[in-house]
Amino acid sequence: DGDNAAAMRYTEARMTAVSRSLLEGIDQDTVDFRPTYDAEDNEPVVLPANFPNLLANGAQGIAVGMATSIPPHNVGEICDALRHLIKFPNASITKLVDFISGPDFPTGGVLVEGRDSIISAYETGKGGFRVRSKWEVEKLKGGSYQIVVTEIPYQVQKSRLIERIADLIHTRKLIFLGDVRDESSEEIRLVLEPKSRNVDPAVLMESLFKQTDLETRISLNMNALNSENVPQVMSLREVLRAFLDHRRNVLVRRSQFRLGKIDHRLEILEGFLIAYLNIDELIRIIREDDHPKQVIMSTFDLTEVQAESILNMRLRSLRRLEEEGIRKEHYELIAEREGLVGLLESEDQQWQSINGQIKEIKALYGSGALGDRRTEIGDIPEEIEIPLEAMIEKEPVTVILSAKGWIRAMKGHGVERADVKYKEGDEENFVVPAYRTDKFLVFSGTGRFYTLPVDRLPGGRGFGEPLSLMVDLEAGTSIIEAKVYEADNKLLVASTEGRGFVVEEKAVMAQTRSGKKSLNVSDSYKAKFCIKIEGDSVAVVGQNRKLLIFAVEELPEMARGKGVMLQKYKDGGLSDVKTFTLEKGLSWRWGQDKNRTETDLIAWQGKRASAGRMAPNGFPKNNKFY
């Protein structure tokens, strides 16, 4: 839940078995020591570490110009990989992943990363792992059900997770979810109640995975100090190899330390044995000489250590029983010394010893309640198409885009335009009925399309926000068209030069702020038209008042380009364009409130890029259809 740790005065510390393993042999010259920061004491440069702590418990940290992120792993799997690497030093990452199948988090969960992705991450030392919560469906009376989450991803705070889910319910972004309850005790138990029993549990959970920390991505950045104290991003094999090399170094130093202790003890024992053989003479020397130490050394050819040990010997040690014990200890130490010498001279024996140590680690920590894998290895989740209505309520709104580019979404359809207020000097441009679940398509004078989720548009209070804050729209750029995105539609886009083409709306759907370029323009001509293809014919009228009608089929269908000439001009450019059904006739505004439809259009029909003929009598003087 993210609770703070208790104050120091309320806590006690006691080393666990793992801690003792990390320190094992630290007093036997296994590692180097250095002065502490205040030079009052010494501290180990690195721990002997008879436990693969870096991978087992993981590590996270940020330093100057670098960071590390290593998730925890299963100790038993690490030990299996280490023993395999001892036997096959050049084992591939693919083979090692057969042993270490991925991170193992203490909070469980389900690892849903593909094997290829896991191998790639371990090969490079960088990557990530998708982890999902573990959940199950509990059947209730009447055919209803509830979803129970029993495990949540590593380092996700349960309290914040619940707050996030509750907030999504409150803001109607999870309209299929009715309620969330925390029934946790020592075990995690989050209860999710759907609004209807007809909601598919998989769809509901998929929407939660996308919007909450019920699914997280754990990063991998195996950046660690190598044996030369240089930061290095290591692969899985390099990390395992570094641990094995360290353990071999510890083994050698510990053996050499023990060998030195044995040699020292053998020297003393050999002096004792000489003393037992000459006990009467020793007693006489000690009683009569003023400097017995030098006399003993010269008389029996003993070292200073041997002489000092004899002089410090207690009288009770002169018993026959003690002599036999010393001879037995001397024999055992000789045998141990031979074993250590053989170990130091044989690399194979050293790896056999390390292999035995790793086997003991697995026996202690790699099985049972402590060592069993907690994070389940799952399959890559299938793509479940989540209807937008599962995350956003299909609420009717009216999108208003002003002449100066201020946008907002007012609740409901049928907004009274006269009641809509604009900033001083601004006015109405586009008023479009839509739903919260829609995408809003905007086409600018630069020939670029932009896509905006309607649910993210500012509300109807106030004047909204400038469109330029939501997309990368240059100041002063005109908006040619604004409409609700319809994937099956086709659009005709054209420039002032009179060039254009047909484009599918799904081809101009933009996922980024920069939008998607479609119609190529220049400084001398801009994008001017973006109309929905309705019918089988295109009517174009130029600034020279000439009208041309041709089939839609003559226009190329493309995603981006300059387009083809719609109509040939000697002077001026394109004034207006319209698509219609030839059989029904061509309509245009007649007077202030009437429309006129002309069905006899043979005189104006021709091929694309023709000059056309003068528009019929009564055609609007502004050379516009409407």
Residues noted as catalytic: 10
CA–CA distance, 159 with 120 (Å, rounded to integer) = 34
Q: Residue 612, Cβ neighbours under 10 Å: how many?
A: 24
CA–CA distance, 149 with 130 (Å, rounded to integer) = 17
Name 136's bridge partners: 148
Specify the DSSP element, H or E, that contains 410.
Answer: strand 406-411
**What single-letter DSSP state applies at residue 365?**
H
Can you say how many angstroms the Cα of residue 346 is from the centroid of all Cα atoms in its chain?
45
Range 432-461 burial, b when 16+ CB lie within 10 A, else e: bebbbbbbbbbbbbbbbbbbbebbebeebe
CA–CA distance, 580 with 502 (Å, rounded to integer) = 15
Q: Which of 543, 512, 551 is nearest to 611 (CA)?
A: 543
* Unique residue bearing structure tokens 């991803």: 153
Q: Which of 438, 551, 545 is nearest to 485 (CA)?
A: 438
Contact 433, 473 (CB under 8 A): no
Name 503's bridge partners: 491
Structure tokens at 570: 């000697």
CA–CA distance, 174 with 165 (Å, rounded to integer) = 8
DSSP string, 71-137: ----HHHHHHHHHHHHH-TT--HHHHHHH--S---TT--EE---HHHHHHHHHHSEEEEEEE-EEEE
Name 561's bridge partners: 519
Strand order in the sheet with 613-614: 574-580, 537-542, 546-551, 613-614
Contact 519, 538 (CB under 8 A): no
Q: Residue 482, Cβ neighbours under 10 Å: how many?
A: 22
Phi, psi of 298 (to 5 degrees): -75, -35
Phi, psi of 401 (to 5 degrees): -120, 115
**Side chain identity, residue 76:** G
**Angle (CA) 101 103 108, round 5°:** 110
Range 552-567 burial, b when 16+ CB lie within 10 A, else e: beebeebeebbbbbbb
Residue 319, classed as helix, strand or coil, is coil
Q: Which of 535, 539, 585 is nearest to 566 (CA)?
A: 539
Q: How many residues does the chain have?
A: 626
Contact 449, 439 (CB under 8 A): no
Angle of helix 347-365 relative to helix 75-87, nearest 10 degrees, comes to 160
